[in-house]
Amino acid sequence: MSGTYISGTRGTGILTNTAYIVLSKVSGGVGDGIVIKNGNIYSSTISGNMVGIRVSGAGTVIANRDNLNGNRQYTIVAGMADVNAEYNFWDAERTDTISPMLLDRLDNFKLGTIDFGDFVYVPYSSNPDN
């Protein structure tokens, strides 16, 4: 799925079991921006949703080089497997300001961990409407 723009949804913006989401924008929803079981989210902007990315089940999700800012409750909610969320822009400069944006094993032992190391300090200008 490439170049998808979804804004202002009342429920979930993108709901998928397996997907490769690239150069897309999901923003301003009152629910989850993306609910995904397996797949990659790359070079996209996910902002202004209640939850930016929710991982369902025990799938594998890689979310890299995304602009993940301004989601209201959580930016990422892990499923039962680990999430690779490295190299993203979080609109934060320290790990202690990013951690509260995540719901993972540190909050609930039944969830996977979210690796958000090596984050970037400026938004990716090549992503949609950064």
For the full predicted model, state whether its pTM sits above 0.75. yes
Q: Are 119 and 102 in contact (CB under 8 A)?
A: no
- Could you tell me if residue 126 is inside a domain? no
Number of CB atoms found within 10 A of residue 93's CB: 10
Measured CA to CA, the distance from residue 117 to residue 2 in angstroms comes to 26
Q: What is the pLDDT of residue 130?
A: 58
Residue 69, domain member (yes or no): yes
In a domain, 124, yes or no: no
Domains in the chain, number: 1
Any domain includes 125: no
7-62 pLDDT, tens per residue? 988 889 999 998 899 999 999 999 999 999 999 999 999 999 999 999 998 889 99
State mean pLDDT over 84-99.
Answer: 96
- Domain housing 50: 17-115
67: exposed, middle or buried (C-beta count within 10 Å: 0-12, 13-18, 19+)?
buried
Q: Return the ∠ at Cα 21 (arms to 26 and 114), rounded to 5°.
A: 85
- Here the tokens at position 66 are 């995304």
Confidence band (pLDDT; 50, 70, 90) for 90? very high
